Structure 1
């Protein structure tokens, strides 16, 4: 096969692109030398039958050759060479690219496929066995349930047991990607490349053994069903295309250890190796063409270069992203005297790499520099984040991460949450770019479902990491695709990355979580199947949260624990993070929880009270405007202000594809709601500052309505009257009187007959003592209505 020019195949557009770039921006973007993703095979088959080739749930698609006109996919769970080809890099399709709800990237349709391997086969044997040791997901299969009911996949998910093999990460040096992993006790480096011998293109896999171990066999290739490879002297030959009997691939090992040999077992070609010895170097070379080319292909693999020393590639190479991007932010102005304003930090939306800047994670270094990650897989670092924002400089730091929807900096080291793993990034040569993408933990299971995103990397005071994963939502949003053991779960990972555990279960599409100053764990969720509307929930280890289909419990739960509050649908239809105010420089709200709305691009304050062991509360909206669907938030240790970031990727009212904005306290008096208390006598609302008595004491400036939802497998819920549970609508409550407290910092609304209710709205049209407006409403939930006489003994405010 002669080298061909780089060919990129245009992906079909399943949905209108959610972007401001030109059509097919996803093909114009420079992703770097590799891209992590779930991959389909060239016939768009996924990984759910076990027979596919060139498909994987957790793969890394590497550009081969200096011009990137060939591709190779490495499976990081099975340490398996999924497949390799010439004729272009990847066909980019799916929700993060063209918006398609279902497909995943694959080799280009017209690629010349050199080899493939079966999707559920380890890349290295344990002893003589290539049998997949991973258990099937626990739960009913499709054949055992009624149509439309949830079912679990018929194939295993997750990485191999550590004692069998373990992916350690990848090194990036120039055009070369070097994979590091263990096979048993042995440690290996592998780098794959496009080489030439004469005028033939060879795809090669080079191996270096850096630590010894017991013998194992390498999975070389799986020929199509019905094809029997042959061993011809020192090389193997097989047809790799079941539709073309004239197709031929020739495989040979260069520098093979003594006693190593190619073996054919049915349709499979393996390389049987003696025990690994440190310092061993060998290479497997593949040539591809037709039966008529067989002699030339054989000569080409025999002429392949000797295996290279990969160690020099593990120390970092020359930087790839040498052009930085300089931007100038803009400072916000106060509207109506509100003491918080929104500054635009000016992310590098226009950049020389045509990188799509949809921001899905951010955090700060100790010196105030900022790092953010994007849905398309980038990590950028910015400096110059000061009071004026006039000289911001951005440097692209890392690329190719699988849906990088969370980022955390610990001890000034960046950890990125991808759909496949938590990656710890290392700059080995201090040139401002990541050279080693370390697999910190990849125990989370991934299916090829388009919507099962993984969100929100957070840490507690002990150094444990937390993140959360949605379910494989069907196109259209109702019901599920085949499930794994980890769909709809929150996870906890130890600070050293070695221990992974399911922390809680039963969430649908939770775009963000929170960890409070006292290690409080919270989540929200997005309206849909079993989720009437968005909510805020405190989570304890072992909890079932909301969605019984994703509870992973027998029997299936028939009730859920009370949420802190439901959030009215017209206020928020898609949640983001929860974040606690930890700064002394952000006004009087220290210790309060904030809640982000991605769907409505809004910021909310959270009001809380605990009655015995039951929490309840509500939210009020900050009267601020944001440019994108905010979903991540951090307080900057340098200036003490709140920074929020987000994207426009799925349904949202956002105006921009991505943005970073600073919510800055101006120093003016703050008068907002900060406590909410319920008794059988009525409702007490406390404020951070004095209210203006005349407006606050007028009952005509208040209105209360309430309603319930239905917890069913339907998508969301209508709103139903409390007074007539079968009738849609709201009940209005009478406010008999209003009393302003002597300190003018709270009001009591006399509302007799209160009862538990899922959703209440309290509308207010009152002013602060200085004449500024107060946020005009509270959306809250009542789980318990205690006697007023108990207020002094068992009421606590959880700000």
Structure 2
């Protein structure tokens, strides 16, 4: 529960603040002020006399509920251009019950408080539950502490970030109602899929137990994730999304999102694509191993364009420490962007493609989907190879239009690049790209196969 300052020139660490409870995110406001999200509150910490040690701890907001359940983590804060903070509240887990002492109103439509004392509470409670406000929500908090319940439908929203267009993005972790981990573009009032939080939603019928409602009804309410991270080989536990704000000082992907991963030594890159008024897009491994340890949790770019990575773990997989990543100044051969077009994708590389590039042999596509269901996670379903129907190289020699024989919403389209090289002979660094196709360019988003009947 401590905050330290670090001087890169000398390597000195100094205690700035202590006495915090499980702080899982920090925003630096100035040399004398930080804002920290700890388990019970969003806190402003100020060094008033300039001696490098905090003098004042001010509660910005603590108006959300707590049951004492071990799984009620609090994440954030992200901050928008107007100075508003965004935080995410974890759901409680039926791996443990609730404490006799609660903060906030109790509400659960499957159990009363006495029921949580029973040894058989787990089934009626639900795997994840929201017995106090506003578990499973993202909250918007103004600089003076006024809170707006912003959006429900989250399970474990460990990563919150605002991009260069002032759009809010939130990651969520695979589990019940999440077939695989996801990145959401979060907008006020929308529902993002996990129904436990609906207990605190104004339009939800009082007394109606979300555990008793069919998945199809929730599917008609929810906003699908912009990007899915395939479980097991892309990201198992994604963390903070951070836009590359360095204007090229960190490499050729300025403006794109980087996302941490707790379970492996990896940072993921996200290429967003605006289609028919909504965001979807692709993810690709960005940085693998090469000295990076596991547990990459929080990120920030330094003034010199280097990326600072903070690692952590609790009782799950992770690591610990602070690492710094600098760009070596060399542009790799990689996918710069992947955008949906009628009948296929427009794929642009960072370098000119070799003249010998042969799309049918070297661009291998398959597709699959994850079910939206109450159970924990989902296997890949409907996996099938997708044939390339045609291709066209554009005049910049970096861009290839690739047309496929099947294009339908509700699938991940996975592209494996086999032996693709640049004109200078350098091979593609990352051969795996996964595009989440929620809707076609004509706006068609019908995907009934996603819902468990």
Whole-Å separation in 1 of the counterparts to 2:166 and 2:315: 30
Partner of 1:580: 243
Aligned counterpart in structure 1 of residue 298 of structure 2, from 611, 632, 637: 632
1:684 pairs with 2:355: no
The alpha-carbon deviation at position 662 of structure 1 amounts to 2.0
> Pairwise mapping of residues 284-363 of structure 1 onto structure 2 (< 5 A)?
none
Normalization by structure 2: what TM-score?
0.82
Q: Show the counterpart of 1:770.
A: 424
Once the two structures are TM-superposed, the CA of residue 481 in structure 1 deviates from its matched residue by 5.0
Q: 1:787 to 1:530 in 2, by over 3 A?
A: closer
The structural deviation recorded for 1:623 is 4.1
CA contact (8 A) 1:697 1:739 kept: no
> Are 2:161 and 1:491 equivalent residues in the alignment?
no
Counterparts of 1:258-657 in structure 2, within 5 Å, are: 377-384=1-8, 391-412=10-31, 413-475=33-95, 479-481=127-129, 483-497=131-145, 499-551=146-198, 552-553=200-201, 554-555=204-205, 558-559=218-219, 560-570=222-232, 571-584=234-247, 585-625=249-289, 626-636=292-302, 638-652=303-317, 654=318, 657=319
SS at match of 1:700: helix
State the 1:758 CA deviation. Answer: 3.0
Match of 1:706 among 367, 370, 393: 367
CA distance 1:758–1:698, shift in 2 (3 Å): closer
Q: Secondary structure at the match of 1:665?
A: coil
Q: Which residue of 1 aligns with 2:329?
A: 667
Q: Is the 8 A contact 1:456 1:467 kept in 2?
A: yes
Q: Is the 8 A contact 1:489 1:504 kept in 2?
A: yes
Q: How does 1:32-431 map to 2 (within 5 A)?
A: 377-384=1-8, 391-412=10-31, 413-431=33-51
Correspondence for 2:113: none
Number of matched residues? 393
Contact residue 671 and residue 691 of structure 1 kept, 8 A: no
Aligned to 2:389: 736
Q: Distance in 2 between matches of 1:769 and 1:605?
A: 24
Cα distance between partner residues in 1 of 2:374 and 2:26: 33
Please state how far the C-alpha of 1:432 moved relative to its aligned partner. Answer: 2.4
What do the CA deviations read for 1:411-445 (whole angstroms, capped 9, x no partner)? 33111110111121123444322232222222222
Q: Give the secondary structure class of the aligned counterpart of 2:252.
A: helix
Change (3 A) 1:513 1:693: farther
Structure showing greater radius of gyration is 1
- Which residue number corresponds to residue 434 of structure 2? 779
Shift of 1:575: 1.2
Q: Is the 8 A contact 1:680 1:752 kept in 2?
A: no
Is contact 1:574–1:599 with CA below 8 Å preserved after alignment?
Answer: yes
Residues 650-670 of structure 1, C-alpha deviations (whole Å, 9 max, x = no match): 433x4xx31222221111124
Q: Which residue number in structure 2 is paired with residue 298 of structure 1? A: none
Distance in 1 (alpha carbons) for counterparts of 2:437 and 2:329: 34
CA pair 690-592 structure 1, distance change in 2 beyond 3 A: same
Q: Is the CA contact 2:130–2:136 (under 8 Å) kept in the aligned structure 1?
A: no
Residues 693 and 740 in structure 1, CA contact (< 8 A), matched pair in contact too: no
* TM-superposed deviation, 1:757: 2.8
* Superposition TM-score, scaled by structure 1 size: 0.47
Distance 2:431 2:345 in 1: 16
Q: C-alpha separation between the residues in 2 aligned to 1:562 and 1:714? A: 17
Match of 2:379 in 1: 718
CA distance in 2 between counterparts of 1:530 and 1:640 reads: 38
Structure 1 unaligned segments of length 5 or more: list them: 1-376, 386-390, 722-729, 789-799
1:698 shift after superposition = 4.1
Q: Is the 8 A contact 1:565 1:758 kept in 2?
A: no
Task: Give, in whole Å, the separation in 2 of the partners of 1:504 and 1:767.
Answer: 44
Residues 1:640 and 1:648: Cα distance change in structure 2 (over 3 Å) = same
